[in-house]
């Protein structure tokens, strides 16, 4: 068990070994995915990856357990011998830079294993810890780094992502990576209640591209929306309007932006 003093709430941490690190993915635009952990201590209250609990053997709530794939880098190196190219997304059902990464460095080790490969590497995280690995990221032949920046409002972050790093720290991390010469993007997904002009100003100068998506799993958080009084702000009409406004402001600033829902 691990306690709050180490950056996460008390939870069950288990070290495991795996047979495969890379897996084929059905996500459009990506050939492979890599997840150095099972579970995620960020425990965002809308997280689609909660379905992974069915395959983990854990009885704890999503967000209260993490399995560390201790041999992930070793297995990855072995798999890379048979792969000549393609696109890889790191962090499809976990955050590769959740607090335990500071201790275990599984993601860092996997990035080191990827340096000699020809894979196009894409990473998505909510954590400024990724800045630690700037040295290795700059060694990769093709890499793109994304930070999930779902709102400009810390109070909204606390409702939906109470254990995740602050929005301000994510923006700072994205700008640091961008200034280091890495290609960066902001993933505004799911789009939470926010001020489009303020959010656009925060992102400006930090992201080469912005992707906007909606809350796809409203059924999982319907009670939260009702109890917090936020349901009126999360109707599809309000979300579409906010997404379009954010899109237009970012476009005016010369930042490429895509809305991933209709």
The per-residue pLDDT for range 95-144, each reduced to its tens digit, is 999 999 999 999 999 999 999 999 999 999 999 999 999 999 999 999 99
- Is residue 57 pLDDT above 90, yes or no? no
Separation between Cα atoms, residue 136 and residue 192, nearest integer Å: 32
Q: What angle do CA 179, 181, 183 make, to 5 degrees?
A: 105
- Is residue 8 pLDDT above 60, yes or no? no
E strand map for 53-194: 65-69, 87-90, 120-125, 143-148, 183-188
Quote the pLDDT of residue 157. Answer: 97
| Backbone dihedral angles phi then psi of residue 161, each to the nearest 5 degrees | -135, 55
Quote the pLDDT of residue 2. Answer: 38
Quote the pLDDT of residue 5. Answer: 34
Tokens of residue 76, six digits: 């990855």
- Is residue 7 pLDDT above 60, yes or no? no
Residues 195-220 have pLDDT tens digits of 999 999 999 999 999 999 998 766 67
Quote the pLDDT of residue 60. Answer: 78
- Is residue 183 pLDDT above 80, yes or no? yes
Separation between Cα atoms, residue 231 and residue 213, nearest integer Å: 17
Quote the pLDDT of residue 52. Answer: 66
E strand map for 84-139: 87-90, 120-125
Find out whether 238 and 190 touch, Cβ atoms under 8 Å: no
| Backbone dihedral angles phi then psi of residue 4, each to the nearest 5 degrees | -60, -25
Average pLDDT taken over every residue of the chain: 92
Closest CA to 53 of 40, 71, 36: 40
Going from the N-terminus, what domains does the chain have, and what CATH number goes with each? 12-259 (3.20.20.70)
Residue 205, C-beta contacts closer than 8 angstroms, at least 6 positions apart = 175, 178
- Is residue 54 pLDDT above 80, yes or no? no
pLDDT tier for residue 161 given thresholds of 50, 70 and 90? very high
Length of the chain, in residues: 262
Quote the pLDDT of residue 6. Answer: 41
- Is residue 245 pLDDT above 80, yes or no? yes
Does the predicted TM-score (pTM) go above 0.95?
no
């Amino acid at each position: 068990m691990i306690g709050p003093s180490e950056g996460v709430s008390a939870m069950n941490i288990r070290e495991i070994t795996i047979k495969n690190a890379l897996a084929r993915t059905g996500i459009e635009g990506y050939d492979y995915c890599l997840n150095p952990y099972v579970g995620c201590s960020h425990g965002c209250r809308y997280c689609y990856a909660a379905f992974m609990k069915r395959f983990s053997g854990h009885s704890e709530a999503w967000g209260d357990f993490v399995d560390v794939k201790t041999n992930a880098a070793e297995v990855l190196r072995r798999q890379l011998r048979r792969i000549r190219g393609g696109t890889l997304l790191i962090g499809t059902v976990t955050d590769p830079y959740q607090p335990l990464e500071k201790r275990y460095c599984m993601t860092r080790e996997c990035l080191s294993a990827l340096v000699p490969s020809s894979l196009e590497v894409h990473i998505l995280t909510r954590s400024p810890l990724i800045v630690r690995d700037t040295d290795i990221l700059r060694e990769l032949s093709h890499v793109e780094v994304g930070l999930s920046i779902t709102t400009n409002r810390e109070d909204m972050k606390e409702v939906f992502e109470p254990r995740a790093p602050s929005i301000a720290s994510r923006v700072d991390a994205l700008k640091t990576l961008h200034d280091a010469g890495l290609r960066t993007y902001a993933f505004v997904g799911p789009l939470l209640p926010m001020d489009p002009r303020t959010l656009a100003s925060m992102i400006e100068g930090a992201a080469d591209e912005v992707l906007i998506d909606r809350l796809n799993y409203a059924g999982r958080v319907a009670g939260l929306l009702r109890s917090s009084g936020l349901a009126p702000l999360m109707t599809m009409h309000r979300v579409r309007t906010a997404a379009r406004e954010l899109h237009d402001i970012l476009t005016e600033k010369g930042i490429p932006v895509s809305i991933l829902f209709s």
